[in-house]
Structure 1
Amino acid sequence: MKKLKLILPLIAFTLFSCDNYLDVNTSPNNPQASQITPNLTLAAAQSGSYSPLVRRMNELGNVFMNNWGANVNSFTGGYAEEFGITMSNNFYEDIWNSVYRSTYEYSNIINHPSADYDNHKAIAKIMKSFYFQYLVDLYGDVPYFEAHLGTANTNPAYDDDQVIYRDLIVQLDAAIAMIDNAPANTIAVGAEDVMLGGNMNKWKKFANTLKLRILLREATKAETDAASATYLATQFAALDQDFITEDLIINPGYSDASNVQQNPWMNLMVELKLTTTGAFTYRSGYNFRRASDYIAGRLNASPTDPRRGRLFKLLGGTVVGVKQGDFSGGTGTAPGAMSELGPGVIVSSGQDGYVMLAAESYLLQAEAAERGFISGSPQALFNAGITASFAHLGASLGTYVSDVNTENGKGYAASTDKIQAIMYQKSIALCNTNGLEAWIEYTRTGYINNIPMPLGSSSPTGQKPLRLMYPTSELASNSANVPAQTVNDAFTTAPFWK
C-alpha cells in the first residue's frame, strides 16, 4: 500500500507536465487533460502542499514566536533577516510561490470535467480553503476569484481579504454538501487520499473544524465591530459542532528509501539512513536550530512542563536556550551548549506529517465556547487540548493539567483572561509542528506583545510584522494588479481580522 501511495504522486506530477495535444491520433504517452483524473492527482496535491507548511511556514512561525534560536557557536550569520526584522519583497517569498502552486493543483481537481468525482472534488475544496486561509493571513488581499485560470487570465485581480474569507466558508459548505449528496455512481476515494484514506465522515469533521478556525479569526474584531459580530452569530448558529478529535496526519508512505520518500520535515533534519548504532546523522538544518532562551524559560518555569523533554533535548535536566540575535562567548552571552530539537518531533524518516493537531481543534473549541459561540465546557475543552498535546508528543501528563490550572495566564481556571491561557497552551502545542499557526493566532489576539524582540532588531514599531510583503515574483509577473505597499505597511496594516 505504501508503495502505491508513493507511486501516485510521481504519476500525477508526470501527467501534469504533459502538453495538451490536438492530434486525433494521440499517443498514450501524452494523455489529454480529461484523462488526468482526480484519483491520479490527489496524493500529489496533498503531499506537495504539505511540504511548505511543515518547512518554511513552520520555520517562519517558530522564529517569529521566539521558539527557535540559532546555534551561534557553530554557525554565523544565520537568521539575520528574521532577527533583524528586515522585511522585503524577497523575505520568505517562496511561501507565496509554493502555496499558490499547490492550490492550483487543487483547482485542477475541482474543475475536472467528469461528474463522477464529487468526493475527490470535495476534498480538494477543503484543502484549497485550508491553504487560501493562510495566504490571506500572511498577505491580506490576494488573487482568489481569478486565480488559476492559466492562459485565460495571466494577470488575476486582487480580491478583498474579508470577501475571500467569506467565500472560504461558502466553499467548505459546498464541500460538505457534495459529500452528503454524492451520486450513487461517485467514484470512491481510497488509498490516493494520503491523509484520511477516503473516510469522508472525517473530511466533514475537518471541514467543520476549519470553518471554526476561519470564523474565530474574526472573533477579536467582532468585539468592536457590529457587522462582524452579526456575521459570526449567524455562522456559528449554523455550524455543525462535529470536529476532529484526533491528529490529522499525512503519510503517503514516507521512508528512508530516498530523499523524495522521506518525510519533508525529516528530510530537512536528518540523513536518510541511521548509523550502525541506530542513531541519526544530522543535517545542517537540525544542527543550526536550537531552543531560544524565551521558550526555554516558558517550559522550565513552574509548573515545569513535561513536554519540554519531547520538544527539545534536555541539558542537565532542563531546556537551555539562546537569545535571538545573541552571539557566541567572547562577543556575546550565548551558552556553550543549547538544547536541540527533541525526540517528540524528530522521530524517523517515515514519521507522519501533521496538518492539524487534535490539540488545536480542542483549543479552538475552548475559545469558541468561552466566547459563547458554541456549546460545551470551556474548561473541559481546554483540558482536552492539553491532554491531546501530550499524547501527540509522547509526553507523560502526570498532574500537569491540575497544576497549570492554578497559574494565571497558563491555566484556564486561574486566569483572569481565559483567552490568554488558551493562546498560551496553543502556542506550546503548536511549537515545532506548526509555528505559523501559533504566530498568526498571537498576532490576532495581541498577545504577541508578550514575546521579546531579538537583540539588535530594527522593527519600525518595536514589534513583529503583522503580515508579509508581496513577493518579487508577483511584482514581476502581475505588477499591474499588486497593491501598493511599503515596508512600513507590513508592520502597520494587518489582514482584516486584526
Structure 2
Amino acid sequence: MKKLKLIIPLVALVLFSCDNYLDINENPNQATESNVNPKLTLSAAQTASYVPLVRRMNELGSVFMNQWGPNVNSFTGGYSEEFGITMSNKFYEDIWTTVYRSTYEYSRIINYPSADYDHHKAIAKIMKSFYFQYLVDIYGDIPYSQAHLGVNNPFPAYDDDQAIYRDLIVQLDSAIDMINNAPSTTTAVGSEDVMLGGDMGTWIKFANTLKLRILLRQATKAETDAATATYLTSQFAVLDNNFIDRNITINPGYSNAKDSQQNPWIGLMWELKLSATGARVERNTYRFRKASAYIANELNTSADPRRSRLFTTTSGNVVGVVQGSATAPANISSFGPGLMIEHSQDGYVMLLAEGLLLQAEAAHRGYISGDPQILFDSAIQASCDMLGVSAANASGYITNINGIDGKGYAASTDKIEAIMYQKSIALCSINGLESWIEYTRTGYINNIPMPLGATSPTGQKPLRLMYPTSELASNSANVPTVTVNQSFTTAPFWK
C-alpha cells in the first residue's frame, strides 16, 4: 500500500499560541489599576512567560542551529519558511506578542504601590530582565522605558538596544539590593514562586548569572571596541562571582489533570491520556519534529552519551534528516527520554551547564577567576546529570572529548569554539534560541550547513528577526524600518 503523507501547514503544526497554562488574559497595552497584590500574581507571570521560551523561541533556535528537521516520511511542507530563510514581518512574529504580553505582569508587580513586597518585586525585575534581554537579542531596538504603559502611552518609543542592555544590569543590581535590604515588613516569598520556592539566595545567584550572560554577550564586540572593553572591565570588577549551582527550573504543579496543566513542552508532544494499552499517545507535533542529519552526525561521531537521551536511537546512533531534503531514512530519530519524561516534569529556565560554560568563557577571557578547564568539564557533567547519563559514561566522554579540537577544551586551538559547541549540545531542544544567539555573536559553530535550497543574501543565517506586522500596524510612527536584507546584515549592537 502506498504510504499516505499528511499535508499539514506549519502554522497548524506548531499551535504555539494556544492553551497557555494560567493565561494572564491581560492586554499588555492596557495597564489598569488593580488591587491584586504581587503574591497572587507571581506564579501566573512566571508560568506564562516560560511558554514562549520553551516553545516558539526554542523551535526557532533549534531549526536555525540545524538540530531539528521535519519528518518528511509522513508530512510535507514543514519548515519551508525556515529552510528557505524567507524572512518577513510575519516570520515568528508571535514571539514578540507573547513575550511582551507575558512580561506585562512583571511590570505590574514591580510597580505595585507597596514596599511590603520587595522580594516579589525583585523576582519580577530579574525575570523581566531575563526576557527583555532576549527581545533585544532577537530584534535590536525595542520599546523598553515606555513599554507596558498602556493607555498612558499606547505608542511607545523604541529605546537603543545598547542602552537597554546597560539598564538591565542596573535593574539586576537593584533586584539584588532589594533582596538584601528589604524592610522588615516585606512579605516572605513562598510557594507562589513556582521557580525557586522563595529561595532568595538562589535568586541572587540567578541574577548574578544573568548579569554574567548579559556582559559576555558583549565580549566579542569588546575585542575591537575600546569603549565596550572599558565598560566590561568596570562591570566585571564589581561582579559578585556568586553564580547558580543548580538548574533553574519551573513547575507550578504541572500534571495530567487537563491539557492546560501539562508541562508546556510535553503538552505539545503528547496527548493527555494514555492509550488503552497504557502507552503514550503522540501528537502530530511530536511525530513531525525529528533530529537533523547534522546533529546526528555531531553526536554520533563524538560518541556523545547524551545522544540516546536527547533523541531516540537505532543501533546506538541518532538518525537524522537533511534539512530541506524531501527524502530521509525510514527511522528518523525523535526526541528522547531525557527530554520526554512525564506530563508533570520540570521546565528549565536556565541550566547549570549554561551557567558553568558562561563562567568558563569569562575565566578564559580573564574577566573572572577560576580554572576554565574545570568549569568546562563541570558543565558537561551537569548536562549529563540533567539528561540522565550514567556517571561512568559521562566521565568517559569528558576524558575523550578533551582530545578533540573544537569540541573539547584541552585540545581546542580556539577555546571559545569548544565552549560554544558544548553549549549548543547542552541546550539542544531545551533552549535553542540561546544557542542561535551565541552562534550569531561568536560565529561558532561554523560547520553548521545551510538547508538545501536556502536563499540568503549573505549565504548565512539571519542575524535578527524583522519587526512584526502588529507593530507596523499599531505603532508605525515609532517602529524602525528593517528590510529583508538588513535582517541578514544588521545585528544587535553586541555583534
TM-score over 0.5 for the pair:
yes
AA aligned to 2:441 is: R
Residue among 324, 348, 368 paired with 2:362: 368
Partner of 2:433: 436
For the 8 Å contact 1:34–1:113, the answer to whether it is kept is no
CA distance in 1 between partners of 2:273 and 2:255 (Å)? 10
CA distance 1:247–1:257, change in 2 (3 Å): same
Please tell me whether residue 67 in structure 1 is matched to residue 81 in structure 2.
no
Larger mean Cα displacement after TM superposition, 357-366 or 271-280: 271-280
CA distance in 2 between partners of 1:415 and 1:447 (Å)? 13
CA distance in 2 between partners of 1:278 and 1:377 (Å)? 49
Partner of 1:422: 419
For the 8 Å contact 2:126–2:175, the answer to whether it is kept is yes
Residue among 24, 27, 41 paired with 1:13: 24
Larger mean Cα displacement after TM superposition, 75-84 or 313-322: 313-322
Partner of 1:294: 294
CA distance in 1 between partners of 2:424 and 2:279 (Å)? 30
CA distance in 2 between partners of 1:221 and 1:61 (Å)? 22
CA distance in 2 between partners of 1:493 and 1:208 (Å)? 29
For the 8 Å contact 1:130–1:210, the answer to whether it is kept is yes
Q: What is the identity percentage for the equivalent residue pairs of Structure 1 and Structure 2? A: 71
AA aligned to 1:312 is: F
Partner of 1:312: 311
Please tell me whether residue 488 in structure 1 is matched to residue 482 in structure 2.
no
Q: Which stretches of structure 1, 4 residues or longer, exceed 4 Å deviation after superposition? A: 14-17
AA aligned to 1:316 is: S
CA distance in 1 between partners of 2:112 and 2:341 (Å)? 38
Cα shift readout 1:155-181 (whole Å, capped 9, x = no counterpart): 000011000000000000000000000
Partner of 2:279: 279
After TM superposition, give the deviation of residue 34 of structure 1 in Å: 4.2
AA aligned to 1:13 is: I
1:18-33 matches, within 5 Å, as 33=33
Please tell me whether residue 385 in structure 1 is matched to residue 379 in structure 2.
yes
For the 8 Å contact 2:142–2:161, the answer to whether it is kept is yes
After TM superposition, give the deviation of residue 378 of structure 1 in Å: 0.2
AA aligned to 1:456 is: G
SS at 1:449's partner residue?
coil
Partner of 1:139: 139
AA aligned to 1:470 is: Y
After TM superposition, give the deviation of residue 448 of structure 1 in Å: 4.6
After TM superposition, give the deviation of residue 273 of structure 1 in Å: 1.7
For the 8 Å contact 2:129–2:171, the answer to whether it is kept is yes
SS at 2:169's partner residue?
helix
CA distance 1:415–1:169, change in 2 (3 Å): same
SS at 2:249's partner residue?
strand
After TM superposition, give the deviation of residue 276 of structure 1 in Å: 4.2
Please tell me whether residue 150 in structure 1 is matched to residue 150 in structure 2.
yes
AA aligned to 1:394 is: G
SS at 1:72's partner residue?
coil
For the 8 Å contact 2:294–2:449, the answer to whether it is kept is yes
AA aligned to 1:272 is: L
AA aligned to 1:426 is: K
SS at 2:425's partner residue?
helix
SS at 1:355's partner residue?
strand
For the 8 Å contact 1:89–1:471, the answer to whether it is kept is yes
For the 8 Å contact 2:271–2:283, the answer to whether it is kept is yes
Partner of 2:186: 186
1:106-145 matches, within 5 Å, as 106-145=106-145
CA distance in 1 between partners of 2:24 and 2:209 (Å)? 30
Partner of 2:17: none
Partner of 1:5: none
Cα shift readout 1:279-313 (whole Å, capped 9, x = no counterpart): 210001100001000000000013x0000000000
Partner of 2:97: 97
Partner of 2:5: none
CA distance in 1 between partners of 2:75 and 2:480 (Å)? 38
CA distance in 2 between partners of 1:51 and 1:159 (Å)? 26
Please tell me whether residue 406 in structure 1 is matched to residue 403 in structure 2.
yes
Gap runs ≥5 in structure 1: 1-8, 21-31, 329-333
CA distance 1:255–1:91, change in 2 (3 Å): same
For the 8 Å contact 2:243–2:355, the answer to whether it is kept is yes
Please tell me whether residue 338 in structure 1 is matched to residue 349 in structure 2.
no
Please tell me whether residue 76 in structure 1 is matched to residue 73 in structure 2.
no
For the 8 Å contact 2:380–2:422, the answer to whether it is kept is yes
Partner of 1:259: 259
Residue among 443, 448, 452 paired with 1:451: 448
SS at 1:159's partner residue?
coil
After TM superposition, give the deviation of residue 449 of structure 1 in Å: 3.4
Cα shift readout 1:65-120 (whole Å, capped 9, x = no counterpart): 00001000000000000000000000000000000111111000000011210000
Partner of 2:205: 205
AA aligned to 1:362 is: L
CA distance 1:468–1:289, change in 2 (3 Å): same
Partner of 2:457: 460
AA aligned to 2:487 is: A
For the 8 Å contact 1:248–1:358, the answer to whether it is kept is yes
AA aligned to 1:70 is: P
Please tell me whether residue 351 in structure 1 is matched to residue 345 in structure 2.
yes
For the 8 Å contact 1:426–1:438, the answer to whether it is kept is yes
For the 8 Å contact 2:417–2:445, the answer to whether it is kept is no
CA distance in 1 between partners of 2:164 and 2:479 (Å)? 16
AA aligned to 2:24 is: F
CA distance in 2 between partners of 1:90 and 1:289 (Å)? 22
Partner of 1:25: none
SS at 1:399's partner residue?
helix
AA aligned to 1:404 is: I
SS at 2:134's partner residue?
helix
CA distance in 1 between partners of 2:345 and 2:471 (Å)? 35
Partner of 1:324: 323
After TM superposition, give the deviation of residue 335 of structure 1 in Å: 1.2
Alignment: residue pair count: 471
Query: Which TM-score applies when normalising by structure 1?
Result: 0.93
For the 8 Å contact 1:15–1:36, the answer to whether it is kept is no
